[in-house]
Each structure stands twice: as C-alpha cells, then as structure tokens.
Amino acid sequence: MRFTRLRLNGFKSFVDPTDLVISQGLTGVVGPNGCGKSNLLEALRWVMGENRPTAMRGGGMEDVIFAGAATRPARNHAEVSLVIDNAERTAPAGFNDADQLEITRRITRDVGSAYKVGSKDVRARDVQMLFADAATGAHSPALVRQGQISELINAKPKARRRILEDAAGIAGLYQRRHEAELRLKSAESNLERVDDVLDQLA
C-alpha cells in the first residue's frame, strides 16, 4: 500500500484546505522553522488513529483544530484524509475491494472524532487495525518524530521488541488477542452467573 495523497483542512496550522500529492520515490518537505513540517507528520499519524494528545504535541485532542491567528478566527473542526493506492490489492481483508482507499478522520469541538473509509462510517479501531495489519500506523517506527532516536537508544529491551513487532506487522494480532481475552473473561463471568442461578433453582 502506498500513500498517494494527504488532504488537510483546519488541522493545526493548515487552516485552508491543502492537498498534497505524494509521488513515487522519495519526498522531501523543506521550509523555514515553524512552517508546519512536523504538523504534516502528525496529520499522518492522526488520520491513522493516534489518540494520545502528547504524541500530537497537545494537551487535549481538540488542540489539533486550528486555534486562530491574529487575522483569522479559530475553526470548529479539523479534517485529514489519506489516500492509499491499493491497485495491488494488498489492503487487509474487509477493505480490499477498491484500487484506491480514502481514510478520513474529522474532529469537531465538543463532539470528538469520526472516521470514514471511502463514504462508509467506521470505528477508530477499524482504521487502527487496517494500518496495523499493513505493518504501519500511528505507532509505526517508519514515522520518526523529533527526539525519538534518542528515546530509542535509551529504550528498555521490552520497548525495543515492540518496535520490531510493529515492523513485522503483528501489532494487530496483539490487539485482537487482548479483545479475545476480554470476551473470554466476560463469557466466564456469565457462566458463573448461570451456575449461581442453577444453584438457586436446585
């Protein structure tokens, strides 16, 4: 899967609709300090389901919405869309029926985030799993933020293993195992309740 387009609207410093075409090969983003280069990387991470405000250099999730400037009022919502080339049909099952996938995340003040794949509403988890299964996503080691290299060097072995697992594309399996364990626990407690009821009837 190759990213081919990134669209931003009201996201951080990108107050006006901005459409970036990501061509094949190496893409460089250059510009003066504070022009928004890191915001682009954060937009990528955000549309893939990032939910930690600290990873977005903010105090709360709504901090990604354009906060206003001397000449422009703040916006009420932010939207980022990521277009992925899926001509080789390498997208995970359930999302693999089109040559192109467009994933959109929109946040509205006091409402929260909503996700779409194409025109279909999906859950945050669906988007996170889509990217985790494709060995990428908000936590992908391919997205290197400022200060991350020194964090990596100082990381404990367990944290380093996590990075290798992300790269190997098994992060989605961990999430599924966790969800299966939760379902198992709930089934066990239901069984205990059934036993109690049967005891009372006996």
The answer to the question of residue 55 lying near ligand ATP (CB under 6 A) is: no
What token pair was written down for 202? 């006996």
Q: Which residues are annotated as a binding site for ATP?
A: 32-39
* C-alpha distance from residue 45 to each of 68, 73, 158 (Å): 22, 26, 23
Segment interacting with ligand ATP, rule: CB under 6 A, options 35-43, 91-99, 129-137, 149-157: 35-43
Q: Cβ of residue 37: shortest distance to ligand ATP, in angstroms?
A: 3
Q: Would you say 27 or 189 has its CB closer to ligand ATP?
A: 27
Among 46, 66, 95, 131, binds ligand ATP (CB under 6 A): 66
Ramachandran angles phi, psi of 84, nearest 5°: -120, 135
Q: Would you say 6 or 91 has its CB closer to ligand ATP?
A: 6
The answer to the question of residue 105 lying near ligand ATP (CB under 6 A) is: no
Q: Would you say 151 or 179 has its CB closer to ligand ATP?
A: 151
The answer to the question of residue 76 lying near ligand ATP (CB under 6 A) is: no
The answer to the question of residue 35 lying near ligand ATP (CB under 6 A) is: yes
Number of residues that bind ligand ATP (CB under 6 A): 14
Q: Would you say 12 or 139 has its CB closer to ligand ATP?
A: 12
Q: Would you say 61 or 167 has its CB closer to ligand ATP?
A: 61
The answer to the question of residue 33 lying near ligand ATP (CB under 6 A) is: yes
Interface ranges with ligand ATP (CB under 6 A): 12-13, 31, 33-39, 63, 65-67
